[in-house]
Amino acid sequence: MVRFGNFLENPVSHDTLAKVTLETERLGFDSVWLEDHLVVTPGSQYMKRHKVIPLSVMAPSLLECWTTLSWLAGQTRRIRLGTLVTCNLFRNPSLLAKMACTLDVLSNGRLELGLGAGYWKPEFEMYGIPLPSHRERMERLTEGVRIVKSMCSDETADFAGKYYTVKAALNNPKPVQKPYPPITIGGSGAPVMKVAAQLADNWNYPAPFSLTPEEYAKIAGTFDGYCREANRSPKEVVKSLGVRCLIDRNEDKARERAKQFRPEWESTQDFMKRPIGTPEKIIEKLNALKDKGADYFIVHFYEPADLTSLQLFAEEVIPAVR
């Protein structure tokens, strides 16, 4: 059965974030996800809509991912809570394992642990965090995932890698989910896809890219090949797909609302690829992607605080695709 998550774009006020999360849970979505950035990046819909350049003007506020998820865990009861994705370089993997176990216990087993290598240089420079080469980031991510798994499942963890070391590390309590919370690795390039094929429970192809079903089938087929190279069945790894969505019962209104974010879409094929439009059109596009291998849709609503759109999607699209 296809699952649905709601990516909650930050920045919004914490009251709005809580309201949208509770409504997402009430409407039957499987999960909510937060990004792990320290400042708002240029790729965010907020930045595009308001034409904000974060390095030259005061950027909007951004809540820290893990603190916010912990806060949301106390307000919800069923919905799963995910990071899309935690930057491996922001926290030592052993500390991250402790954080993950704690949140999984406090949420009664609802954590979805997303991990990534990190990429946006300006935030690393602002916060004084070294950003190594792409190759080193991939190696660090691989070691980090192995440490997290060991510390979540082994009585004591021992790991001696090129970058990280833990020695007889105690980590109690263990997570509710056994042997560890499901691990999502997100990314579109071959190196990170290979890490995901080897170590992840869920591989996420990110939302900034727009794909036809045929394009997605080719990418998903490549990932399946990486799984086989790692001696894993492709069926062992959930394929989640980020999709940017704008829904309206009126097609013309959907186009006008979309132009607030990307005026050039009116005359490009990119607009036609994305799930933008009436419920019927979105259902058609998502079903086509599902037929090409997508197991899990992480929906990035262009207007994340618009509860009317959230409700329309949940009431009409989810039952028709799930």
Give the range of the structural domain holding residue 198, as residue numbers without chain letter: 3-321
Give the tens place of pLDDT for each residue, 89-109: 999 999 999 999 999 999 999
* Helix runs in 115-212, H state only: 121-127, 134-153, 190-199
Reply yes or no on whether the pLDDT at 56 is more than 50: no
- How much of the chain is helix, strand and coil, in % rounded to 5? 45, 15, 35
CA 50-82-27 angle, to 5 degrees, is: 80
Q: Is the dihedral of CA 256, 260, 266, 270 positive or negative?
A: negative
Q: What is the pLDDT of residue 247?
A: 95
Tokens representing 17 are: 């974030």
Total structural domains within the chain: 1
What percentage of the chain carries pLDDT values higher than 90? 80
Arithmetic mean of pLDDT over the chain: 91
Reply yes or no on whether the pLDDT at 158 is more than 50: yes
Instruction: Kindly report the pTM of this predicted structure.
Output: 0.92
**For residues 188-213, average pLDDT:** 92
Q: What is the pLDDT of residue 263?
A: 64
Q: Label each residue of 290-318 as H, E or C.
A: HHCCCCEEEEEECCCCCHHHHHHHHHHHH
CA distance 111 to 45: 26
The two beta strands, 86-87 and 31-34, are unpaired
Reply yes or no on whether the pLDDT at 55 is more than 60: no
The total of other beta-carbon atoms located within 10 Å of residue 231's CB is 8
Give the tens place of pLDDT for each residue, 220-274: 999 999 999 999 999 999 999 999 999 999 988 888 888 777 666 555 666 677 8
Q: Which CATH number do you get for residue 64?
A: 3.20.20.30
Whether 84 and 7 have beta carbons less than 8 Å apart is answered as yes
Reply yes or no on whether the pLDDT at 173 is more than 60: yes
CA distance 77 to 108: 9
